[in-house]
């Protein structure tokens, strides 16, 4: 890579970084929050299902709601990035 192309790439990255920061923050926040929510709700759901088989439906709903948080974070990040 020539020094001119390297400088142009660094300049482009420096100019685009402030515009991409909100999307990155939303994506990371949604991913981390969704991961924590899925981990805690899924482990609790498995414990509840092991004690009572009838709790499967409710447990599945709670895990699905937690997964929705992660998907909404991803959608918001993509919207901030491309719109």
CA distance 58 to 61: 5
Task: Give the pLDDT mean for 64-70.
Answer: 86
> What is the reported pLDDT for 32?
79
Other C-beta atoms lying within 10 Å of the C-beta of residue 79: 11
Report the C-alpha gap between 25 and 55 in whole angstroms. Answer: 36
pLDDT tens for 7-66 read: 777 666 666 666 667 766 767 777 778 888 888 888 999 999 999 989 999 899 988 988
Is 74 a residue whose pLDDT tops 90?
no
What pLDDT is recorded for position 31?
75
Mean pLDDT, range 62-81, rounded to an integer? 83
* Non-local CB neighbours of 24 within 8 Å, separated by 6+ positions: 77
């Amino acid at each position: 890579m020539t020094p001119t192309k390297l400088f142009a790439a660094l300049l482009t990255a420096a100019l685009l970084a402030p515009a991409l920061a909100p999307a990155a923050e939303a994506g990371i926040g949604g991913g981390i929050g969704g991961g924590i929510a899925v981990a805690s709700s899924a482990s609790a759901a498995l414990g509840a299902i092991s004690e009572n088989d009838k709790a499967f439906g409710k447990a599945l709903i709670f895990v699905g709601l937690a997964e929705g948080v992660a998907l909404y974070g991803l959608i918001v990040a993509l919207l901030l990035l491309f719109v």
